[in-house]
Amino acid sequence: MHDAPFLLARVHLPEERTTSFIYQRFGANVSAMDGSVFSFQRAGEPVNAYAWWETLDPEVIGRGGHGVIRIVPMTPDLWTHLKPGTSLTMTHERLHAQVTQSLMENQA
C-alpha cells in the first residue's frame, strides 16, 4: 500500500465531536474496506471518490487537534488535479481536510 500513489492532507477533529480521537494505520487492522469516501470539486463538478487513509503526524489526533493524514486513492486519476490548499470532505466521518501535498509530487 505504501508504494501506491498518495497525497497528504491536514485534518482537524473539532472540539465538539463526540469522537474523542481518530486513528487509522495501514496494516493488519485496516483492510480494503476500511477506507472512506472523499468529496471534492473537479472541473466545477462535485466528485465522490473512495480512498484508504492513515494518520501520520500525530499518529492519534485528539478532539480539538490537527494532524496530517496520508490518502491513497483507489482511482488516482480522479485526484491528480488536487493541489495544496484544496478542500476535501471525508463524507462518512464528516471531517474536513486540506491538501498539503498533491498526488503528482509523490509519483516517481
pLDDT digit string, tens, across residues 35-77: 899 999 999 999 999 999 999 998 999 999 999 999 999 999 9
Determine the average pLDDT of the residues in 76-80.
95
Q: On the CB side of 58, how many CA atoms lie within 13 Å of its CA? A: 11
d(CA 24, CA 90): 14
N residues, the chain: 108
d(CA 104, CA 23): 25
Report yes or no: 62 and 15 within 8 Å, Cβ to Cβ: no
